[in-house]
Amino acid sequence: MNYSRSSALFAQAEKVIPGGVNSPVRAFKAVGGTPIFVKEAKGAYLYDEDGNKLIDYINSWGPMILGHAYEPVVHAVIEKAKKGTSFGMPTEIETQIAELAVSMVPNIDKIRFVNSGTEACMSAIRLARGFTGNDKIIKFAGCYHGHSDSFLIQAGSGAVTFGAPNSPGVTQGTAKDTLLAKYNNIENVKSVIHANKGEIACIIIEPVAGNMGCIPPKNGFLQSLRDLCDTYGILLIFDEVMTGFRLAKGGAQELYNVNADIVCFGKVIGGGLPVGAFAAREEIMNYLAPLGPIYQAGTLSGNPLAMAAGLAMLETLNNDTELFNRLAKKTEYLHKGFAEVLSENNISHTINRVGSMISIHFTEDQVIDFETSAKGNNETFKKFFHGMLQEGIYIAPSAFETWFITDALTYKDLDATIAAVKKVTSKF
């Protein structure tokens, strides 16, 4: 495939946009080469500026669970735009989507809409600190909760050490209140809590990790976190920006039958427009201004176009009783096809899958956390990524990102993808 126009557009963008992109992973730094510039998309397919058609497995990093340019969402946005794009005042549609979201998700009474997943997680942390009166938070190495300062922390040298900033611009003062734990290691979490008794406001976790590839929680891990939080008066926050309304109507809480105290949303809840949200039971949410002392605000929060897109999306998900089963079956079909081909070609691999999230790790070891994920052969992944791209398959340009399956994918698309994997890996 020819990508000359994308290359030219990237060179042009680099002159006026840092790195030529507005989000770093788009720059292909992890895989090399030049990023693809998209012209349009429909259903399961991307059409780039060079005229290439690509089967899409990132789906805007998750929101396009029903496919690109899903007609009810497009129609809702167009009709709403005709009546104005922003008011900075309450609108009825905000209440409509809030009522629907609360009815779909377990253990939440109220929800507040913001403009991104980052903002949702940042606000949830502030709410947890204000509600508990404690300053410290526990996050897990390899889990990503947006680019707020508190979350850009890497692991220290020991299990209970303070975090260190992982990005210039994040102060040591901020870092000292973020404690690092190991994903899927409940004993490690216990040791962090015991070293900081009475100081921890919350534990925040991706219930299914998606930023070190797809990594499911071990059996009982989430429930053990719930039990620890109950014992020590700590709030449990599920970052369901990826998993919310994707793994089930009620997200990971429903799937694993574990209730969080605060839940963060993004991606699917906005129908492809910039939306985030955080939700909890009433006693926690009432701490927010204007009812309570914890301040949080946003000029474009509850934007009518975003609310219209999100409402159209959630209505479809709520009414389609077979959707999540269809998605899981398609993802399982891919999993089996990938495993068979990679085994035939003697490629060391581990495949992780939950619902409509899946990732291939080029290692024979089980991938259960950031440390084991990092053992994957990144050079193999680079060859795999570019080989798949040449076959018309677009996957995440990083070995540390989950793939997202959309309902718009047909079994013909899945077979074409499996065939591409076979062709590409036969050359390794």
DSSP letters, 295-364, are ----TTTT-HHHHHHHHHHHHHHHH-TTHHHHHHHHHHHHHHHHHHHHHHTT---EEEEETTEEEEESSS
Has residue 83 got a pLDDT over 90? yes
Instruction: Judge if 94 and 191 occupy the same domain.
Output: yes
Which residues neighbour 14 within 8 Å (Cβ) at sequence distance 6 or greater? 20
Among residues 319, 345, 375, the one where a domain terminates is 319
Name the active-site residue from 48, 267, 369, 413.
267
Instruction: Judge if 132 and 235 occupy the same domain.
Output: yes
Instruction: Judge if 88 and 46 occupy the same domain.
Output: no
DSSP 3-state of 268: helix
0.85 exceeded by pTM: yes
- CATH assignment of the domain containing 161: 3.40.640.10
Name the active-site residue from 48, 56, 177, 239.
239
Instruction: Judge if 357 and 409 occupy the same domain.
Output: yes
The total number of structural domains in the chain stands at 2
| Domain assignment of residue 415, given as a range | 4-69+322-425
Among residues 287, 319, 351, the one where a domain terminates is 319
User: Cα-flanking dihedrals φ and ψ of residue 46, to 5°?
Assistant: -105, 145
Closest by CA position to 121, among listed 245, 289, 244 = 244
Has residue 38 got a pLDDT over 70? yes
- CATH assignment of the domain containing 345: 3.90.1150.10
Percentage of the chain lying above the pLDDT 70 cut: 97
Give the C-alpha separation, 246 to 267, whole Å.
Answer: 9
Instruction: Judge if 176 and 295 occupy the same domain.
Output: yes
Tally of residues, the chain: 428
Instruction: Judge if 191 and 253 occupy the same domain.
Output: yes
Instruction: Judge if 374 and 234 occupy the same domain.
Output: no
Per-residue pLDDT tens over the stretch 96-123: 999 999 999 999 999 999 999 999 999 9
Instruction: Tell me how many degrees the CA angle 135-206-214 measures, rounded to the nearest 5.
Output: 150
Query: Has 239 been annotated as catalytic?
Result: yes
Confidence (pLDDT) at 151: 84
Among residues 284, 319, 354, the one where a domain terminates is 319
Both tokens of 37, joined, read 């510039």
Q: What is the dihedral of CA 348, 354, 357, 361, to 10 degrees?
A: -10
Instruction: Judge if 60 and 102 occupy the same domain.
Output: no
Both tokens of 7, joined, read 């290359």
Residue 149 pLDDT level (bands cut at 50, 70, 90): confident
Instruction: Judge if 342 and 420 occupy the same domain.
Output: yes
Instruction: Judge if 380 and 282 occupy the same domain.
Output: no
Confidence (pLDDT) at 165: 57
Instruction: Judge if 362 and 409 occupy the same domain.
Output: yes
Query: Has 333 been annotated as catalytic?
Result: no
Instruction: Judge if 381 and 283 occupy the same domain.
Output: no
Which residues neighbour 375 within 8 Å (Cβ) at sequence distance 6 or greater? 363, 365, 367
Name the active-site residue from 70, 144, 183, 256.
144
Query: Has 144 been annotated as catalytic?
Result: yes
